[in-house]
Structure 1
Amino acid sequence: MPKRLIVVLEMHRNPFQILDRCTKIINGDELKTEFPQSNLVVANIPYNISSPLLAKLVYGAAANSFRSATLLLQKEFAQRLLAKPGDSEYNRLAINMNLMADVEFVMDVSKRDFVPCPKVDSSVVKLYPKTEIPDVNLEEWWAFTRTCFNNKNKTLGATFKQKRKLMELMKFSRVEGFCQDSNDLEECESGSQLGLGVGNMISSFRARVAGVLESGGYVDKRPAKLSHDDLLHLLSLFNDVGIYFRDQAKGSDSCSVAELDFDDGLL
């Protein structure tokens, strides 16, 4: 049986020589280096870049090329990654990961198992890329989940009543007559461009948003208790009536993975 090629990606130069000719060493920054196509991924991820690195792994060019990824993560981060709707740790990280991959807990690893002993405990988790990915604009999805989870325990009805949030959505949605060309929401809010008509526009748009929430039964729902299927449904309801969470001047086509900002991570 032919040997499998082992690819090692390491930022720091390896102090020892790898003699196995079936091992390939890539010396580079994990966030800047293109991940090779692989069957299995095993990694001890630098804890300070866990979020952007996982985003790159499951949303990037190498996504779905691997069968599974076994990762050593900081325990608190792993708990957030594994959180389910209703859990206190449930957050945008879990929602965005669950869109692309199933996450499985393997084991906890005590800090006392390392030399020298670090300050935090760790956990091992496995990621399994999903074979069927929802047809959703990724930038739109990321912006939507960011809005919902800015205050995950507030009802959606309360979140979408905020005047500034409504004005932001009006601008992104290219509402006719609204001051889309202004980068300053305060300028729009003051009515300097639209006069007294701005208040009527906001009231009308607020009613449209409220109608979406009511139609799906989401007015009194809290993001902390919604599954990714619930959130996908709500986003589709918003988009169906022309309400968007990213600037539509960028176009409606889904962005390529190369255009995603992995430094933003999944938080």
Structure 2
Amino acid sequence: MPKALKKRGQTHIASAASKPYQKASPASTNSASTNLISPNTSLGQHFLKNPAVISSIIDKAGLKATDVVLEIGPGTGNMTVPMLQRAKKVVALEFDSRMVREVLKRTEGTDLAHKLQVIQGDAMKTAWPFFDCMIANLPYQISSQVVFKLLSHRPMFRCAVLMFQEEFALRLSARPGEALYCRLSVNTQLLAKVDQLLKVGKQNFRPPPKVESRVVRIELKNPPPPVNFTEWDGMIRLLFNRKNKTLRSVLNTKSVMKLLEDNRRTVQSLHPEKMVDGRPAQVIVEEILERDSWKGQRAAKLDLDDFLQLLAEFNEAGIHFN
């Protein structure tokens, strides 16, 4: 469900018991189209209403009867109920108190109620519980925050199948040289495998969003690569600040050189036993970037192996980015 979460704090809410949505029959628990509660577009709520799309998303996760699923932004439960029918448990994390009540109504008085746990709170301020799979139609403006929190989440999960704005989804798997290739692409692909699953048109939501959407599957690499991610991201952040400039022009600025000198002094003070090149950081950086492998290179054209090699060469020379 596309938009920002502003309220602080969280509330754990147990399953309740009465009848869902329609006064007609309990079969309405499976109906996405019968829910008439008004979405709050200031929170970016766009309810996924097409049952075929919902089924396809859940199928792509390959849910097992033993799985615990984490859903961020369940809304009125259009996707929650079908997941409950397949999984051991669904933990739904929802900010809007109206939606908390609505998603609980979907299972009240049914044999699915005991499998649902609803947590009211901000997804970015709430500690995520253990889960095997995350399946969600996310608030689009917290997409980047969710992805980075997901990449660092432990214990590891099997997969995440998530709905994003189309351009954001394509950035996750963009390759070197492509227009959408960015810091997000590199960091995500360092830690995870990303598959583009399906495109979802605006007409599948109520109300229709202004953008097209895509569903992706994210699987963490296990074991993760042996790299200090804080330092890695420090380098990637700098280089992609101006990704189409040469590495030398990006790094050879007063502010960057000051940062690298400060980092070097910090490392030396913490590890005085290590031999440190006494030359200025600028001289060392320029020496590295004059090598044939890096001369004239731009971040926009480098792949994961290139960045890993570049970081290793910097570190070996005593240049650090955290």
Aligned to 2:142: 49
User: Alignment partner of 2:242: what SS?
Assistant: coil
Aligned to 2:319: 243
Aligned to 1:32: 125
Count of equivalent residues: 220
Does the 8 Å CA contact 1:102/1:130 hold for their aligned counterparts?
yes
Give 1:215 shift.
Answer: 4.1
CA-based RMSD of the aligned residues comes to 2.2
Q: TM-score, normalised by structure 1?
A: 0.76
1:104 maps to 2:209: no
2-structure distance, mates of 1:173, 1:46: 40
Amino acid at match of 2:116: T
Aligned to 1:197: none
Does the 8 Å CA contact 2:172/2:184 hold for their aligned counterparts?
yes
Aligned to 1:168: 259
Give 1:140 shift.
Answer: 1.0
Does the 8 Å CA contact 1:43/1:72 hold for their aligned counterparts?
yes
Larger mean Cα displacement after TM superposition, 128-137 or 100-109: 128-137
Give 1:112 shift.
Answer: 1.9
1:126 aligns with one of 202, 217, 220: 217
Larger mean Cα displacement after TM superposition, 82-91 or 162-171: 162-171
Give 1:216 shift.
Answer: 6.5
Aligned to 1:76: 167
Aligned to 1:184: none
Gaps of 5+ in 1: 178-200, 247-267
Q: TM-score, normalised by structure 2?
A: 0.64
User: Alignment partner of 2:195: what SS?
Assistant: strand
Aligned to 1:250: none
Q: Deviations over 1:129-182 (max 9, x none)?
A: 1112122222111111111100001111222222332222111211899xxxxx
1-structure distance, mates of 2:93, 2:246: 44
Aligned to 2:274: none
User: Alignment partner of 2:216: what SS?
Assistant: strand
Does the 8 Å CA contact 1:173/1:243 hold for their aligned counterparts?
yes
2-structure distance, mates of 1:235, 1:56: 23
Query: Which protein shows a greater Rg?
Result: 2
User: Alignment partner of 2:206: what SS?
Assistant: coil
1:4 aligns with one of 88, 102, 120: 88
Does the 8 Å CA contact 1:35/1:61 hold for their aligned counterparts?
no
Give 1:89 shift.
Answer: 0.6
Q: Deviations over 1:55-113 (max 9, x none)?
A: 11111334x2x111000001111111121111111000011111111110001111122
2:239 aligns with one of 137, 148, 152: 148
Aligned to 1:219: 295
Point out 4+ residue stretches in structure 1 off by more than 6 angstroms: none
1:15 aligns with one of 101, 106, 128: 101
2-structure distance, mates of 1:232, 1:216: 16
1-structure distance, mates of 2:266, 2:151: 34
Q: 1:128 and 1:170, CA in 2 relative to 1: closer, same or farther beyond 3 A? A: same
Aligned to 1:90: 181
Aligned to 1:61: 154
Does the 8 Å CA contact 1:69/1:127 hold for their aligned counterparts?
yes
1-structure distance, mates of 2:281, 2:117: 56
2-structure distance, mates of 1:176, 1:6: 45
2-structure distance, mates of 1:148, 1:118: 33
User: Alignment partner of 2:101: what SS?
Assistant: coil
1-structure distance, mates of 2:238, 2:315: 15
2-structure distance, mates of 1:25, 1:160: 47
Does the 8 Å CA contact 2:261/2:280 hold for their aligned counterparts?
no
